[in-house]
Amino acid sequence: MSLTEAIILGIVQGLTEFLPISSTAHLRILPALAGWQDPGAAFTAIVQIGTLIAVLIYFFRDIISITGAVVRGIASGRPLGTTDAKMGWMIAAGTIPIVIFGLLFKTQIETSLRSLYWISGALIILALILTLAEWLMKQRMKKGLPAKTMEHIGWKEALLIGLAQSIALIPGSSRSGVTITAGLFLNLSRDTAARFSFLLSLPAVFASGMYQLYETREILMNSSSALLNLIVATTFAGIVGYASIAFLISYLKKHSTGIFIIYRIALGLTILALISAGYVQA
């Protein structure tokens, strides 16, 4: 990987990690179109540390409040005594499904599931499911049913959205895409679904990135260029990712996810057409 490729892939990661269009899909598709090598699942997981830092900075106050409440709750013997403490434990519980499925299907996630057939299928199918979620939300709005905010998230919402997050292990599905979709099905407002999605991603992204850093430590330590490229890509991903978070939360307060649905379907169909025409290898 050249330094230029690292910069471009870092920017793409930052742009697409939080939008419901799948960063993993774009980090797989762009190199295929450009004739570059697939950067691999390990690169994707490690570069996500940059976007993890973006979430930490953007939600700094929320994270400090939740963490402090959890610690105080444990110390006082009332772990679920406050709303913030409960939120911390719900995020932890919601992370369990993706950890279990990630370990069970680790080999497939890093190999066969990175096929462009899988990615294009995930892009299209999840777009159709998101369309259904949007339709149901509009029906509830017509009936005058208010959408839920962060204060209304309970164990049912946390566990079901956490289970949905495990689908994001399939490249092309999108972590934010599947969790926001699940949130809409559970009657969360769009911006609330996005906010909870980002907070829920913290433990899983951190664990995945640290694990891949450990797994690839010998390669990185023996190659200064590989280490530099990874640092540069991660830095760009973090900077661009912060702007992407701010954009999406602001956008979803006034708009539906329609533009992302159209983009996912168009991208999925384009990939299939390119494979069929022989321009890229699946």
Q: What is the pLDDT of residue 177?
A: 93
Q: How far apart are CA 213 and CA 211, in angstroms?
A: 5
Q: What is the pLDDT of residue 34?
A: 87
pLDDT digits (tens, 9 = 90+) for 181-197: 999 999 999 999 999 99
What backbone torsions phi and psi does residue 148 show, to the nearest 5 degrees? -80, 145
Q: Which two tokens stand for residue 137?
A: 């939300």
Sign of the four-CA dihedral 80, 53, 39, 179: positive
Q: What is the pLDDT of residue 101?
A: 94
Alpha helices (runs of H) in 59-189, residue ranges in sequence order: 60-76, 83-104, 106-110, 116-142, 155-165, 175-185
β-bridge mates for residue 188, sequence order: 148
Q: What is the pLDDT of residue 46?
A: 82
Task: Please state the pTM of the whole predicted model.
Answer: 0.89
- Judge whether 19 and 130 are in contact, CB under 8 Å: no
Average pLDDT over residues 155-163: 95
Residue 130 has pLDDT above 90, yes or no: yes
Q: What is the pLDDT of residue 196?
A: 94
Q: What is the pLDDT of residue 161?
A: 96
**Residue of 29, 75, 3, 12 whose CA lies nearest to 241:** 12
- The DSSP letter of residue 77 is T
- Judge whether 275 and 116 are in contact, CB under 8 Å: yes
- The DSSP letter of residue 5 is H
Of the two residues 30 and 214, the one the predictor is more confident about is: 30
- Judge whether 140 and 187 are in contact, CB under 8 Å: yes
Residue 106 has pLDDT above 80, yes or no: yes
Q: DSSP letter string over 131-166?
A: HHHHHHHHHHHHTTPPPB-GGG--HHHHHHHHHHHG
Residue identified by tokens 């299907």 is 105
Angle between helices 23-34 and 258-277 in degrees, nearest 10: 30
- Judge whether 181 and 165 are in contact, CB under 8 Å: no
Q: What is the pLDDT of residue 224?
A: 75
Of the two residues 117 and 205, the one the predictor is more confident about is: 117
- The DSSP letter of residue 114 is G
Residue 99 has pLDDT above 80, yes or no: yes
Of the listed ranges 5-14, 25-34, 209-218, the least confidently predicted one is 209-218
pLDDT digits (tens, 9 = 90+) for 212-238: 777 777 776 777 777 888 899 999 999
Q: Which two tokens stand for residue 165?
A: 């997050």
